[in-house]
Structure 1
Amino acid sequence: MRDAARRPAAATVDLATRKFWRLIGREIDLGGEHAWLRAPTVGPGTVGTAWLDAEAALRGGAVHHDLPDAGLIGDWGALAGPGFDPSALHPSITDFYRHTARWRMEVWSSWSPLFQPGGEVISRGFGRRVQQLALPTRPLDVARGLDGRVSVLTDATGAQIAAGWIRTLRSTGDVVFSGRYSTRTLPGADRPSVHVTFPLEAGNLQVFLRPHNRAGGALELASGRGPWGSDGAYITVRDRGRDYAQRVPLHESFLLAVDDEQVLRTDHVLRFGPATALRLHYKLTRTG
């Protein structure tokens, strides 16, 4: 009875949230000028993985689950351009993105005291309910690490066009993130960015990350501040047959590097405006 009573209330909150983004966002044309924001969405309820099959059908291709060598980025050469040379990356970093399914992930998290209460509200009131964007808010939440399932999306020719990465807490099996990974070139950009989409009901959260070479073969992926149409985070919603989008002040950086003991590690920083909200550290170990 209690769960049944919660469902209408949750639906009302979700609808109000979409109305908010419509109010502050701008109307977009996903079939034309703003096609760079075209990305998967889902219906009511949990996000799940049905969006993978729906997108594969839309592209006339297929989705391949549980391939032992599945990777998030099949062709790093597609990201080459001024300021970034994929061939300069440490081989372990390239291997991680090409064969992500082979890597095991351990995680440590540290929230800013200012932002942790908000993260807890989002995680409990929304993330865990829809199984999306359920950020861990306590270090023990991720003490046993994360598991990741990688599904490859191919087009009609069999070429990889994107990958789905479903990350779950090893301790509980709860989904933390369900994301689509690919490459995409922003309007006026001189080279592609890594494009990550988190499908939501009648909308999504999209993040465009610009790759940079760093010392020792390290890789930095960053979404900094900038104007509309530049790397960063965008919320899109569909309301009454019309699409809207808003650039949001969420900025991320990922620094992947191999340490002195030849262990691949990642420092992930999430900022809200100028303030650091969350720091995550990943230890990545290849298996198989």
Structure 2
Amino acid sequence: MIMRPTALFDMFGRLLMRLTSRRTTEDRSPWLVGPSAGREVVGHGWVEHWAAANDGYTSEGPGHGLLASFAALAGDAFDPGEVDPRIADFYERTAGWRLDLWSQWSPYAWPFGVLLSALLSKRLQQLSLPLRPLDVSYGMDSTVVHVHDKDRAVIGAAWLRNLRKTGLTTYSGLYGIHTLPGSAQPSIRVVFPLPLGSFQVFLRPSTDGSGGLHLHSPLGRFGTDGAYLVLQRRNGVLNARRIPIAEHIHLFVDADGDVRTDHSVRLWHIPVVRLHYRLRATAV
């Protein structure tokens, strides 16, 4: 039986993870436990599977948000009361907001983006960042799905986005609030399911003194805010490693009352892509 090149590529990636990552368990590192996908396409199908794995169910509604309570981010380094209420409303009622997106890749990172899209993003239907500004000219569909456990409590919010022009899944992630080991400051955690694992980002909140919100996912040591690649194995075994990807997300309210978002992504200290969102409330 001849194995497909993509299957060989995936097998090599998992082997490399085992050789170069930190081995832990779900019991020792519960902050790394999250949904994963099957061996092929990710898309949005993982949401129902994860709900079923928790003996729960999913729900949709115009008032669904990425965070059950923005105030839950309060900690020793962040006061949610200093953030403009419209930004807090976006996180608490995301489904009631319309998104417009613009993207710009760094010229020397663009070939890497094309390669990543060809090898992984389009095939897996996950993290398909727009490569050209006109890719988002028709807009983006955005859906928020709450995942409930058997006791009806919300255990995560899935944010599912597709490009209207192509139908491609650009973004399929689970949002929640987690406090990392040894920290007194809650962070926003976003889990992007991947085949047999996930890519996870922990974002540290801060304010700018004028109502804006900054979210940082910096470079750093294991166990602190930043980006992680996680391979889930049998019997609760995890392989996890830091990824040298740094992100900065700045949300602010412009003169027209719209919420704007500047989102920059760097590989080490090399700029990769910048995304800009205009967010407008559509639901009362």
Same-fold call, TM cutoff 0.5: yes
1:94-243 pair list within 5 angstroms:
94-238=88-232, 242-243=237-238
Using the alignment, how far apart are the partners of 1:7 and 1:99 within structure 2? 45
Q: 1:33 and 2:19 equivalent?
A: no
Using the alignment, how far apart are the partners of 2:31 and 2:63 within structure 1? 29
- Equivalent of 1:15, from 11, 20, 41? 11
Using the alignment, how far apart are the partners of 1:194 and 1:90 within structure 2? 18
The one-letter code of the counterpart of 1:280 is L
| Equivalent position of 1:3 in the other structure | none
The one-letter code of the counterpart of 1:36 is W
| Equivalent position of 2:74 in the other structure | 80
Give the CA deviation at 1:215: 2.5
Indicate conservation of the 8 Å contact 1:22/1:239, yes or no: no
Aligned to 2:4, what secondary structure does the other structure show?
helix
- Where does the alignment leave 5 or more consecutive residues of structure 2 unmatched? none
Indicate conservation of the 8 Å contact 1:123/1:136, yes or no: no
Tell me the TM-score normalized by structure 1: 0.93
Aligned length, in residue pairs: 282
- Equivalent of 1:256, from 233, 251, 256? 251
The one-letter code of the counterpart of 1:49 is H
Aligned to 1:216, what secondary structure does the other structure show?
coil
Q: 1:287 and 2:282 equivalent?
A: yes
Indicate conservation of the 8 Å contact 1:18/1:239, yes or no: no
The one-letter code of the counterpart of 2:101 is V
Using the alignment, how far apart are the partners of 2:50 and 2:238 within structure 1? 18
Structure 1 pair 80/9, CA: closer, same or farther in 2 (3 Å)?
Answer: same
Using the alignment, how far apart are the partners of 1:124 and 1:97 within structure 2? 32
Tell me the TM-score normalized by structure 2: 0.94
Give the CA deviation at 1:7: 7.9
Give the CA deviation at 1:239: 5.1
Using the alignment, how far apart are the partners of 1:131 and 1:15 within structure 2? 18
Q: 1:46 and 2:48 equivalent?
A: no
Indicate conservation of the 8 Å contact 2:65/2:144, yes or no: yes
Give the CA deviation at 1:159: 2.5
Aligned to 1:222, what secondary structure does the other structure show?
strand
Q: 1:68 and 2:47 equivalent?
A: no
Using the alignment, how far apart are the partners of 2:114 and 2:68 within structure 1? 35
Aligned to 1:254, what secondary structure does the other structure show?
strand
Identity of aligned residues (%): 41
Using the alignment, how far apart are the partners of 2:234 and 2:62 within structure 1? 42
Using the alignment, how far apart are the partners of 1:145 and 1:98 within structure 2? 22
Report which stretch shifted further, 158-167 or 175-184.
158-167
Give the CA deviation at 1:60: 3.0
Give the CA deviation at 1:240: 6.7
Aligned to 1:181, what secondary structure does the other structure show?
strand
Indicate conservation of the 8 Å contact 1:89/1:219, yes or no: yes
Give the CA deviation at 1:155: 2.5
Using the alignment, how far apart are the partners of 1:158 and 1:9 within structure 2? 43
Deviant stretches of 4+, over 3 Å = 238-242
Aligned to 2:171, what secondary structure does the other structure show?
strand
- Where does the alignment leave 5 or more consecutive residues of structure 1 unmatched? 1-5
Give the CA deviation at 1:145: 2.3
The one-letter code of the counterpart of 2:222 is W
